[in-house]
Amino acid sequence: MLVRILVLLYLVGAPALAQTLCQPNASNGYRVRISIKTALGNQAYEWNENEMFLFQATMAFAMRRYYKTETYNVDNIIVCNQTRRVSFWFVVISPENPTMLIPKADVEKAVSALTTRLPCRPMSNSMSRHRINNAFLLTDRTLEFLGIHPTLAEPVNPDTPPWLIVFGVVIGAVFAGIIALLVSSLLQKRRKEKGMMEDGQDEEDRQMKGVENGINLDGIYNRGFTDDDRFTKL
Amino acid sequence: LIENKWDNPMQFVLACVSYAVGLGNVWRFPYLCQMHGGGGFLIPYMLMLVLLGVPLFYMELAIGQKMRLGSIGAWRAISPYLGGVGMASVVTSMYLCLYYNVINAWSFWYLFHSFQSILPWAECPVNSNLTGPVEECERATPTQYFFYRETLDISGSIEENGGIHMGQALCLLLAWIIVYLFIIKGVKSTGKVVYFTATFPYLVLIIYLIRGVTLHGSINGVKYMFTPKMEQLAKPTTWINAATQIFFSLGLGFGSLIAFASYNQYNNNFEKQAIIVSMVNSGTSIFASIVTFSIYGFKATFNYESCLERVRLLLLNTFDLAEDTISLENVNHWIAELNRTHPEQFASLGGRLETCDLEAELDTAVEGTGLAFIVYSEAIKNMPVSQLWSVLYFIMLLLLGMGSMLGNVIAVITPLSDLKFISVLSYLVGLVCLFCLLLGLGFTTRSGNYWFTMFNDYGATFSLLFIVLIEVITVCYIYGIKRFEKDVEDMLGHRLNCYWKIMLAGVSPILLIALFIFYIVNYIQGGTPTYQAWNKELGKSVVTEYPPYAQAFIGLLLASSVCCIPLTALYTYCKKRNLASGKRERTVSTVSA
């Protein structure tokens, strides 16, 4: 009889107890904010009970992955205070002891992960956040755990900065151009010296005749008729 | 250098276009247009072009083509007392050579950094703890951080010197090697290069125009620019800025035009060419400002809509409303609504609620390096395929800058080669480039950008006005407008018509004197000269006064070019007097010989 009463109390009281455990601004709870329409636009799905169930399942999954010892279930994730924004509070209770809340820090460790933009590397248990995001087709910005900051990606530092590579290419091309110019001018000089010895007389004649505007004048420009006034008399 | 000539008149025109169309057309004219009433600014601009720009341009080309010498030789030939005018031009050009190539170095730096999947100025780098972005970048914007910290590594003030930025030094070296390559054979090599440097920027501008006007929000910028605010025309600064812009944009007084024209054939029709180049220069300014303003409009609209988005999210999160209740269009409506229905909760938002204003975004007028490297790169990072647009843009900046650099260096080299210090041209060019490179390394130090600004503001502005004023007075009154007319007739075959005569002898000198007086008055009234120092903690520039030694240096910059003129006149006077007294003793001996 007593057992039946206790069982009845437990069945009635557990949800009530659960509800009192989960409250806004609970000390061991986190607030989650989801922005589906911002992330997916026209392809946004409706947030309903089923999606909430998926959330509880993924949270249980994250807890299992992190601890590897205890078996978490959907019932261990308690959600409350859901708003139209789609934001809600959740707390995690221990599977053994329904009245004990998992501390905030442990929940954070289970959830937070190295979030990168690279494709998922299915290795360590640090990819939980990534898996949680992917389950909902969301990102760190649209599935926010308020209070858990995603650790930023390690900056990729290549051995040679890329700009130096481009610089090297350009300056190599420039030096090649200079060498080409020097070689060509040297070759031209050598060719001219060979040519000068053969028809030197013709060259001199051509230079004596004035070349004005590309037209070969037959006369020689008589400097006697230039205006010497440009030198001011003092 | 009579043998060294342009292959054909087209090369000369393109060289002048390449020289005149420079960075000023892209980053100064749009700013002036915005400041002085948009479309209405075109009226004083065109007027000054006709009254001041074209006649003076014509005069410089005439002198160069007639004398066939660089600026020192040409002015000495016109009037031996005023040979100093040529010297002052060379000194000013030398200052310009020193600092102008640093801009090309920055363009190279940005160009090389564009070959990355994510543009480095698109986001803030992460700090050492991996907890968030670097603080300085957080307070400023990523583009400002990239320019001031990663490109310049700027110090807090002009007094704090630092080491040389190796990346900058390498880019400056590259820029000078390329300049050397372009001028190594005098105008023979320059003549071929200008085919490219004069025309390719236009191709990029056209591509950018098409890209610009198809961007979302660009129409806001173009509308903003062209809406004339006629009341601006009543202010004298509008007219003065129009005059100075024409003046500096055409590159008068540096001796480059004289140098270019000295390689012309004697009968080259420079009259037609002067008009063509001036028109092309002004047309390019207007064209470039359309491009700039469409980009401005895009950037302003982007920032405005980002601001609205942030406000929308803030409201949604604070009041826990469903996502689709507030959209970008009705944000303002909702602000009023929520203020009415939930006043206490609304008040708790406090300072976090930003006011988003498109007009305010458009009003942020920037000029100079701020426009080219900060504002433009910010707009580019938001375009799709930003790497391509970035590469195109910085190649265009490079070509514009290189084209102007060619003119500057030729202005220095032509008179030096006339003086026959060094007979082999390539050695002379190499020496000048090496000298400018070594001194220019000073601009790559941590405080280098402040010295750069000083040179930019004071190195050429005042001295040029003085030089050109003396030039006009010399040609029209000391040499004589009649003799000038005869020279032109000799070269072109027809006389000067009255437009040229009236402008050169009357209107231009008067305008120049007015400009000159205005500059002096403005400088005196301005008090202690100040500059913008980048404050690391605040993440923005603060106005700081120059220390006394920097002010002395400014005075030195101004005086060093200007005083060439009186000093040379004095020197020539003394030499002539000594020569005259010496001649009297020698006349006896020459008669007998």
User: Amino acid letter at A123?
Assistant: M
Q: Which of B113, B181, B324 sits opposite A163 (nearest CB)?
A: B113
Helix axes A104-111, A49-67, angle to 10 degrees: 100
What SS3 class is residue B133?
A: strand
Say whether B21 counts as a known binding-site residue. Answer: yes
Question: In this complex, do B115 and A212 lie within 8 Å of one another by their Cβ atoms?
Answer: no
Query: Does the pLDDT value for residue B75 go beyond 80?
Result: yes
A33 close contact with B: CB closer than 8 A: yes
Say whether B249 counts as a known binding-site residue. Answer: yes
**Long-range CB contacts (< 8 A, 24+ apart) of B420-426?**
B425/B1, B425/B4, B425/B184, B425/B185, B425/B186, B426/B184, B426/B185
What local confidence, expressed as pLDDT, does residue A152 receive?
63
Question: In this complex, do A38 and B266 lie within 8 Å of one another by their Cβ atoms?
Answer: no
B-chain residues within 8 Å CB-CB of A175? 177
What local confidence, expressed as pLDDT, does residue A87 receive?
84
A-chain residues within 8 Å CB-CB of B170? 167
Closest-CA distance of chain A to residue B112, Å: 5
Q: Which of A87, A178, A181 sits opposite B320 (nearest CB)?
A: A87
A184 close contact with B: CB closer than 8 A: no
Structure tokens at A14: 């557990």
Bridge partners (DSSP) of residue A212 are: A215
What local confidence, expressed as pLDDT, does residue B437 receive?
94
Question: pLDDT-based confidence at B2, cuts 50/70/90?
Answer: very low
What local confidence, expressed as pLDDT, does residue A205 receive?
52
First to last CA, chain A: 136
Question: In this complex, do B320 and A177 lie within 8 Å of one another by their Cβ atoms?
Answer: no
Smallest Cα–Cα separation from B98: which of B376, B462, B448, B391?
B448
Closest-CA distance of chain B to residue A215, Å: 12
Closest-CA distance of chain B to residue A93, Å: 26
A182 close contact with B: CB closer than 8 A: no
Phi, psi (rounded to 5 degrees) for A216: -75, 110
Closest-CA distance of chain A to residue B325, Å: 10
- Tens digit of pLDDT at every position of chain A (234 positions): 787 877 776 666 656 665 667 777 777 788 888 888 888 878 888 888 888 888 888 888 888 887 776 688 888 888 888 888 888 888 888 888 778 888 888 888 877 743 333 344 443 334 677 788 888 888 877 888 887 776 666 677 777 788 888 999 999 999 898 888 888 888 988 988 888 776 555 555 555 444 445 455 556 666 666 655 555 555
B-chain residues within 8 Å CB-CB of A174? 174, 177-178, 181
A212 close contact with B: CB closer than 8 A: yes
Question: In this complex, do A174 and B177 lie within 8 Å of one another by their Cβ atoms?
Answer: yes
- B74-91 mean pLDDT: 89
Query: What is the value of pTM for the model shown?
Result: 0.82
Distance CA B154, CA B373 (A): 15
Strands (DSSP E) found in chain A: 30-34, 77-80, 87-92, 143-146, 211-212, 215-216
What local confidence, expressed as pLDDT, does residue A126 receive?
44
User: Amino acid letter at B480?
Assistant: G
Structure tokens at A210: 């004035």
Say whether B288 counts as a known binding-site residue. Answer: no
Q: From A141, which residue of chain B is nearest by alpha-carbon distance?
A: B313
List all residues 6 or more positions away from B548 whose beta carbon is below 8 Å from its beta carbon: none
A-chain residues within 8 Å CB-CB of B113? 162-163
Question: In this complex, do A167 and B112 lie within 8 Å of one another by their Cβ atoms?
Answer: yes
Q: Which of B267, B320, B323 sits opposite A212 (nearest CB)?
A: B267
Query: Does the pLDDT value for residue B397 go beyond 70?
Result: yes
A228 close contact with B: CB closer than 8 A: no
A-chain residues within 8 Å CB-CB of B265? 212-213
Closest-CA distance of chain A to residue B174, Å: 7
Residue A202 vs residue B470, higher pLDDT: B470
Smallest Cα–Cα separation from B247: which of B399, B453, B466?
B466
- B244-263 mean pLDDT: 90
Are the CB atoms for B374 and B107 separated by under 8 Å?
A: no
The neighbour count for residue B200, using CB atoms within 10 Å, is: 17
- B178-192 mean pLDDT: 85
Question: In this complex, do B77 and A231 lie within 8 Å of one another by their Cβ atoms?
Answer: yes
- B355-365 mean pLDDT: 80
Question: Which residue is listed with tokens 């002379």?
Answer: B428
Question: In this complex, do B323 and A155 lie within 8 Å of one another by their Cβ atoms?
Answer: no
Phi-psi region of B527 (alpha: psi -120 to 50; beta: other; left: phi over 0): left
Residue B9 vs residue B185, higher pLDDT: B9
Q: From A82, which residue of chain B is nearest by alpha-carbon distance?
A: B320
Are the CB atoms for B320 and A83 separated by under 8 Å?
A: yes
Distance CA B345, CA B458 (A): 55
Say whether B277 counts as a known binding-site residue. Answer: no
| Strand A143-146, strand A30-34: pairing | antiparallel
Interface test with chain A among B110, B266, B316, B583, by most A beta carbons within 10 Å: B316
Q: Which of A151, A166, A229 sits opposite B115 (nearest CB)?
A: A166
Predicted confidence (pLDDT) per residue in B491-537, tens digit: 988 888 888 888 888 899 999 998 888 888 888 887 888 888 888 88
- Say what percent of chain B tops pLDDT 70: 97
What local confidence, expressed as pLDDT, does residue A219 receive?
62
Question: In this complex, do B323 and A213 lie within 8 Å of one another by their Cβ atoms?
Answer: no
Chain B residues with a Cβ under 8 Å from any Cβ in chain A: 66-67, 77-80, 108-109, 111-113, 115-116, 125-126, 130-132, 167, 170-171, 174, 177-178, 181, 184-185, 265-267, 316-317, 320-324, 479, 483, 486-487, 490, 576
Predicted confidence (pLDDT) per residue in B118-160, tens digit: 899 988 888 777 777 888 888 888 898 999 998 988 888 888 8
What local confidence, expressed as pLDDT, does residue A113 receive?
47
A134 close contact with B: CB closer than 8 A: no
Are the CB atoms for B264 and B6 separated by under 8 Å?
A: yes
Closest-CA distance of chain B to residue A207, Å: 11
Q: From B269, which residue of chain A is nearest by alpha-carbon distance?
A: A213
Residue A212 vs residue B161, higher pLDDT: B161
What local confidence, expressed as pLDDT, does residue B95 receive?
92
Phi, psi (rounded to 5 degrees) for A153: -65, 145
Starting at the edge strand that comes first in sequence, how are the strands of the sheet with A87-92 ordered? A77-80, A87-92, A30-34, A143-146
User: Amino acid letter at A216?
Assistant: N
Average of per-residue pLDDT values in chain B = 87
Question: In this complex, do A167 and B174 lie within 8 Å of one another by their Cβ atoms?
Answer: yes
> What are the angstrom distances between the C-alpha of B393 and each of B356, B389, B501?
29, 6, 42
First to last CA, chain B: 34
Structure tokens at A33: 């904010």
Structure tokens at B582: 């010496």
Closest-CA distance of chain B to residue A37, Å: 7
Question: In this complex, do A167 and B125 lie within 8 Å of one another by their Cβ atoms?
Answer: no
Question: In this complex, do A162 and B115 lie within 8 Å of one another by their Cβ atoms?
Answer: yes
What SS3 class is residue B303?
A: helix
What local confidence, expressed as pLDDT, does residue A124 receive?
39
Say whether B567 counts as a known binding-site residue. Answer: no
Q: What is the ipTM of this complex?
A: 0.76
- B161-183 mean pLDDT: 91
